[in-house]
Amino acid sequence: MKIKIDQDRCYMSGECYYNHPELFQRGEDGFPVVRTNDLEGDLKKHADEAMEVCPAAAILLED
């Protein structure tokens, strides 16, 4: 499973990296950068949460 950020949709609100710094960090350009795609255990749940709360629906989970 892989986390992708749709930069055309993301407007850099920051919820993902503030709420889930274990998965995302703020990149130099302001867009979130995915820190890991090793979504074992709670990290998969956290990725699902991040996807659900993203106000721009810019976080995608792909197989």
> What are the start-end ranges of the H helices in the chain?
15-19, 42-53
Closer by beta carbon to ligand SF4, 18 or else 63 = 18
What is the distance between the alpha carbons of residues 41 and 49, in angstroms, rounded to a whole number?
Answer: 13
* Residue carrying the six token digits 């993902």: 16
When binding is defined by CB under 6 A, the residue of 16, 23, 43, 47 that contacts ligand SF4 is: 16
Site string for ligand SF4, 31-60 (x = CB under 6 A): -x---------------------xxx-xx-
What is the distance between the alpha carbons of residues 16 and 49, in angstroms, rounded to a whole number?
Answer: 9
When binding is defined by CB under 6 A, the residue of 2, 3, 5, 22 that contacts ligand SF4 is: 5
